[in-house]
Chains A and B, each alone.
Chain A
């Protein structure tokens, strides 16, 4: 009884939005990667798109090595954008409701033509400079949260596990520091 109450309290503190929206979302992310893998044998990652797309505008050998995969990577990324838009038009807009989805209170909701859209409160300078470092880091480090984190970890790849542990620990340190400096949101 006491142990049960303690477990509930800990869960409420560590998971204030429950776990179902995270777990269901994660299963779908994995399923998307698996659909592509089943048909093509490709374990997808989202960050190579950055370099492969640059091959359309730069002749550098570094980018040209991705010419063979650049077209489908554009299709994959377009799919991600459209898939998220589909989520916005259905679940986020309340057209489809499920007890597995916790709407949350972050950022700002706004409406365009009956579709509920969402926008962040995180400051543009954080997104921009963070984005630059993400762009450098994923390419130097051979993967991002989907390549290393989802497909690499799913492959029990030691390289990916080292990559994931490194970026999670450094990110925790960075976010705590930024927060301690009073930067919010």
Chain B
């Protein structure tokens, strides 16, 4: 990918900065606030997820109609569609137990480090261990992986 546009990484960095600032501002970088949502003590998280999804939704709906491809990559503007199979439900359930236990998800964990939460390194270490374990396990079971690409 050496032929990428020189502004590719700077733009990714700027996007990440806004993304991380938003996670900090919304207090999603605080596990306590996520746990309060899951225990119905403060439902504010709904506004974070749907506020964010509304903004992306507009871009995903509009851009493919007004431009052929993205200026920095030439990639076509498409929506984020992943094939459905039972892994979505199984993985979602495992993620749900982890999220409910810790109050932390990947993006929010990186942001948590940024707001000064050094204790979050425990969660980050856990995430890398988990991602590594599933990678090792799934490369052993490759071939039996159900690649049933259903309609999204």
Contact present for B104 and A75 (CB under 8 Å): no
Q: Using Cβ atoms and an 8 Å threshold, which residues of chain B touch A136?
A: 91, 94-95, 98, 130-131, 133-134
CB pair B139 A170 closer than 8 Å = no
Query: Chain B interface residue count: which class?
Result: 35 or more
* Chain B CB within 8 A of A7 CB: no
B83-123: CB near A (< 8 Å → 1, else 0) gives: 11001111111111111111111111111111111111011
A139 touches B111 (CB 8 A): no
Smallest Cβ-Cβ distance to A32: which chain B residue = B19
Cβ of B100 and Cβ of A91 under 8 Å apart?
Answer: no
The answer to whether A97 has its CB under 8 Å from any CB of chain B is no
Q: Which residues of B contact A154 (CB under 8 A)?
A: 52-57, 59-60, 79-80
Residues of A19-75 at the interface with B, using a CB-CB cut-off of 8 Å, are: 19, 21-47, 49-51, 53-54, 58, 60-63, 68, 71-72, 75
**Residue ranges of A at the interface with B (Cβ–Cβ < 8 Å):** 14-19, 21-47, 49-51, 53-54, 58, 60-63, 68, 71-72, 75-88, 91-92, 101, 104, 106-107, 110, 112, 115, 117-122, 124-160, 162-164, 166-179, 185
List residues of chain B with CB under 8 Å of any chain A CB.
1, 7-9, 11-33, 35-36, 38-60, 63, 69-73, 75-84, 87-120, 122-136, 138-139, 142, 151-152
Q: Given contacts A41-B75, A46-B105, A128-B123, list 11 more A-B pairs with CB under 8 A.
A: A41-B69, A44-B15, A62-B138, A82-B17, A84-B112, A88-B116, A130-B123, A135-B129, A145-B105, A167-B99, A172-B100
Nearest 7 pairs between A and B by C-beta? A79-B16, A141-B91, A25-B26, A135-B130, A131-B126, A130-B102, A117-B116
